[in-house]
Amino acid sequence: MQAFDAAAQEQALSFQITEEGGDLEIRLPLTGDEAQRESLVLAVFQNGIPVPMSVLGRWAYDHGQPRGDVDGAFRVPEVAPGQYRACLIPREMEILLPWSSAPQGGGCDSGLLAPGATLSLKPGRPG
């Protein structure tokens, strides 16, 4: 799975893809109920492009992962190598994601996923 930003293109699109991939693991500092109470959502960016959690969840499920997190981790197998950033953000900021870049700061963690590797990200609470 790989995200592409095609919105600004005025000419024919040409996608460079690879069969190489790795696994993304995201460990949150709170449970789903706590995130709900604190009105926080998880935002994930692949090479600076926001990837909706619905897409990641569906991809993970279609590749054999159970729904939700398991032992505190959300795992997404077979994603494209590249730069990943996971952030806990206030729910009201979620609507801005398609038009914004990956947030910087305390609620985020980022790293580079190499082919065949597993990248484990641990975003913190914002603030």
Give per-residue pLDDT as tens, 14-55.
Answer: 545 556 889 999 998 888 888 889 988 889 999 988 898 889
- In the structure, what pLDDT confidence band is assigned to residue 99 with cuts at 50, 70 and 90? low
As a whole-number percent, the residues of the chain with pLDDT over 70 amount to: 71
Max mean pLDDT range (38-42, 55-59, 91-95, 119-123)? 119-123
Cα–Cα distance, 42 to 64 (Å, whole number): 21
Tell me how many helices (H) and strands (E) the chain has. 2, 7
pLDDT of residue 30: 86
DSSP 8-class letter at 65: P
State the chain's mean pLDDT as an integer: 80
* Both structure tokens of 108: 């985020």
**Cβ neighbours of residue 99 under 8 Å, at least 6 residues apart?**
none
As a whole-number percent, the residues of the chain with pLDDT over 90 amount to: 35
